[in-house]
Amino acid sequence: MTIDLATKALLTQFNQQSATMQPHKPTIEESRLGARAMFLSLAGDNEPGCQVEALRLPAGTHDIPARLYHPQQLLVPDAIVLFIHGGGWSLGDLDCYDGLVRSLCQQSGVRFLSVEYRLAPEHPYPAGLDDVSTALSWLHQNAAALSITTDKVALMGDSAGGNLAIALSVRAARMLKLPVAAQYLIYPVLDVHQPHDVYPSRMQFGNGDYLLARSAIDDTRNWYLTADETSDNSEVSPLLLSHLDDLPPTSILLADFDPLFDEGYILAERLKSVGLLRRLARFPSIHAFFSFGVLPISQQARSQLARQIREDLLT
């Protein structure tokens, strides 16, 4: 297996920059600023034509900022994808993922709703999951106004957003009683309970040389959970779900050089065994590559996923 050449060059740049920095454990504020700067600088050019509408979804004591994306050519007018961004439940925002969502929206011809859920550690579990649950309920409640059908609402999330998406799918089936047409999980984090050495990919690619480090996974878990919460909760570590029958048809996109590869692959195999795996796509890149629009492999992955979304939601 050989890593994508453009990804390798970007990794070399990352690691050279890290080597020149003084050893320092960043604060949460510094981590957020650093992540935002990285995502915006590597986002690439915006997809032309997509129109964006700013919204605030009511959630009781607060509002949830959101953006509704309309493609220039609406090819599946009765469908929508609820997009949940990554960032270890503690980083990221609407701006960081704006370019990615625009690209998927425009290429698929499907509308997207991107939500800015509350972040840990200020708002630990289950605040973020509660917010995306509210967003899903809002879509169903406003289906007529949006001209969508309730059985064509899909979920998508990357990394911790993928974690929230699968937890939301289970909630939708068991608690909210809301249909989910499909879910798209992009290198999801699925297990923050078991030790890292359970997963060879965590040990092989988690030293920090491939962007995402094991220590960062630990930090984000600790920010996400209070002392009263345990990491073996299946809403936190969905790979520990005893059965997957409640999940919708699921597509999983993985990066081969990602510490999270193994857990995503294990989930894909489990879904395949119960007939719920729609597609597994693998790319020779790193965690977060899908957001780095400057990489040709990111553009390739986006085009493939956008085409699949359109085909899935047309049927």
Quick: pLDDT tens for 62-87. Answer: 999 999 999 999 999 999 999 999 99
Q: 4 pLDDT exceeds 70?
A: yes
- In the prediction, which pLDDT does 177 show? 97
First vs last Cα of the chain: how many Å apart? 35
What would the pLDDT profile of 81-103 be if each residue is shown by its tens digit?
A: 999 999 999 999 999 999 999 99
pLDDT above 70: percentage of residues in the chain = 99
Question: pLDDT tier at 2 (50, 70, 90 boundaries)?
Answer: very high
Find the mean pLDDT for residues 254-276. Answer: 98
Q: 283 pLDDT exceeds 70?
A: yes
What would the pLDDT profile of 215-230 be if each residue is shown by its tens digit?
A: 999 999 999 999 999 9
- Contact assessment for residue 250 and residue 277, using Cβ atoms and an 8 Å cutoff: yes
Q: Which residues contact 197 (CB under 8 A, 6 or more apart)?
A: 203
Tokens (6 digits) for 26 = 């960043």
Residue that is written with structure tokens 């129109």 in the block: 51
Q: 252 pLDDT exceeds 70?
A: yes
Catalytic residues: 159, 258, 287
Find the mean pLDDT for residues 270-299. Answer: 98
Question: pLDDT tier at 241 (50, 70, 90 boundaries)?
Answer: very high
Q: Is 160 exposed, middle or buried (0-12, 13-18, 19+ CB in 10 A)?
A: buried
pLDDT above 90: percentage of residues in the chain = 95
- In the prediction, which pLDDT does 186 show? 99
What φ, ψ does residue 65 adopt, rounded to 5°? -60, 140
Q: 301 pLDDT exceeds 90?
A: yes
Tokens (6 digits) for 256 = 């081969």
Q: 19 pLDDT exceeds 90?
A: no
Residue that is written with structure tokens 């800015």 in the block: 116
Helix, strand, coil proportions of the chain in percent (round to 5)? 45, 15, 40
- In the prediction, which pLDDT does 303 show? 98
What would the pLDDT profile of 22-42 be if each residue is shown by its tens digit?
A: 677 889 999 999 999 999 999
Q: For the sheet containing 51-58, what is the strand order?
A: 51-58, 63-70, 111-115, 80-84, 153-158, 183-186, 250-255, 277-283
